[in-house]
Amino acid sequence: MILTLSISSTLIAIPAAVAALVALLVLSGFLYQWIGGLVDRKRLQVPGRLVDIGDGRRLYIVEKGPTQQGPTVVFESGFAATSLNWLHIQDAVAEHLHTVAYDRCGLGWSSAPVSDRTPTQVAAELRATLLTAGIQPPYILVGHSFGGLVMQRFALDYPAETAGVLLLDPMRTDEWPPVNAARLATVTRAQRLTRIGLHCSRIGITRLAVRSHLCRSAKFSGFLIRRAGSKGEYLAGRLHSEIGKMPPQVRPSIAAHWSAPRFYRGLLAHLNAVHATVVEMHETEPIRETPVVVVTPGDSTPIGSLSKYGPRSREMFAERSRHWVHLDDPELVIRTILEMANEAGSQTPRRAVPELSTAR
C-alpha cells in the first residue's frame, strides 16, 4: 500500500516538475528577449532619423548626397526588406545625387502600420514622409519587387513629382492570388510561418536562431532549419545567400530587426495585403508622362508587353542576376540611375513643396 502511494505521488510529481521547467524556460525566454532588445537599442547606431507624419506613424529615413540640384533618388525595398538593403547602391549614387532610403511602416526602425500595406497606402505614406522631411520633388523612384508596385503607384498618383521610375524585377501580379489561385498555398504557408516566428520571437527563440545564423556559428539555427525540412533549408539558403551579398556591417542591425516581434507583425501585415495589392495593381493604368525602366533578371521570363507600364517604358535584362538585382549587379543599377537622372536633366530645378494632405 505504501509502495503504491509512493509510486502514485511520483507520477503526479513528474508532470508538475515538467510544467515548472517549461514555465521557467518560457520566463527565461521572455527575459532574454527583453534584455536583448535593450542591448540592441543601445548598441546599434542608427544613421538616419524618424519623420512623424501623424496618426502615430513615424518613418525612418536615411538621406545622403548633395541637395543643391537635380532630382532626389528614392529607394523602395522589397517585401520584408528595409533601407539597409540599399546601402551599397545609395552610397555610390549619393556621390552624384541626393538620395533617400527608408523603412516602410511595420519594418526596420519605422513604427507599426495603421492601414493595409497596399501600394496606394504605402505610396501615400512615402510622399507624406518626403514632404514632411522637406525633401522636394522631382524624384527618381527606384523599387525592388513589391517596392516596384509601390513606385509604380507613386508615379501614377503623383506624376508631376516624378522624374523617372526604375523597377527592379517588380512583383508580377499575374503570378499571385487571386489572379493566380495556385499561389494561394504559398501565401498561406508564409502567413503560417510568420505567425510561428512571431510566437517564437516573444520568448527569444527567434533571437537565438537569427543571431546564430547571421552573427555566430549557425549551429543552433542549422539544427532548427534541419527540423523544418527541405523547404526550410531552401528558404534559409536563399536568405543567407542574399544577405551574404550585403555589407557585413549591416548584419547586426538585420539580426536585431528579425529578432523582434514587431518585425513579424509588420511582415504579416504585408502578407495579409497580397490579395488587395494584386486586385489594386493588376489592371492599373499605364504611366504616361514619365520614363520607366524595368530590369528583368536573367533567370526570369521577359515581361513581353510593356504597355501596362506606359508608352515611355523599356525593359533591360540583368543576365547575371537573380531576383535581388541590386545585390547581384549593383553596377548596372547605379549606371541606370545615373543615366535616368542625366536624361531628366542634371540641372532640373527643385519644385516648391506641394501642400501636404494627411496620408492614411
Label residue 74 by pLDDT band (50, 70, 90).
very high
| Average pLDDT value over all residues in the chain | 87
Predicted pLDDT at 12 = 54
Farthest-apart Cα atoms in the chain, separation: 97
**Rounded CA separation 147/104 (Å):** 10
Label residue 30 by pLDDT band (50, 70, 90).
confident
Sign for the CA dihedral angle at 171, 56, 204, 240 comes to: positive
Phi then psi for 197, rounded to 5 degrees?
-60, -40
Angle between helices 251-259 and 205-215 (to 10 degrees): 160
The arithmetic mean of pLDDT across residues 225-230, rounded, is 56
Of the ranges 80-94, 117-131, 202-216, which one carries the lowest mean pLDDT score? Answer: 202-216
Output the DSSP codes for 171-202: --GGGSTTTSGGGHHHHHHHHHHHHHHHHHHH
Q: Which residue has the higher pLDDT, 70 or 58?
A: 58
Per-residue model confidence as pLDDT tens digits over 317-331: 999 999 999 999 999
Q: Is the pLDDT of residue 223 over 80?
A: no
Of the ranges 31-45, 77-91, 162-176, 291-305, which one carries the lowest mean pLDDT score? Answer: 31-45
Q: Is the pLDDT of residue 270 over 50?
A: yes
**CA triplet 152, 155, 161: central angle to 5 degrees?**
155
**Rounded CA separation 87/124 (Å):** 24
Q: How many CA atoms lie within 13 A of 16 on its CB side?
A: 6
**CA triplet 193, 84, 273: central angle to 5 degrees?**
40
CA-to-CA dists, residue 191 to 50, 147, 194, angstroms: 29, 19, 5
List alpha helices for the chain, DSSP H. 2-43, 87-93, 119-132, 146-157, 184-202, 205-215, 219-243, 251-259, 261-272, 274-281, 325-328, 330-344
Predicted pLDDT at 170 = 97
The contacts of residue 231 (CB under 8 Å, 6+ apart) are none
- Domain boundaries 44-360, CATH class: alpha beta
Predicted pLDDT at 45 = 76
**CA triplet 85, 167, 144: central angle to 5 degrees?**
25
Q: Which residue has the higher pLDDT, 36 or 116?
A: 116
Are 295 and 316 a contacting pair, CB within 8 Å?
A: yes
Our measurement of the distance from residue 22's CA atom to the centroid of its chain's CA atoms, rounded to an integer in Å, reads 35
**CA triplet 226, 244, 213: central angle to 5 degrees?**
35
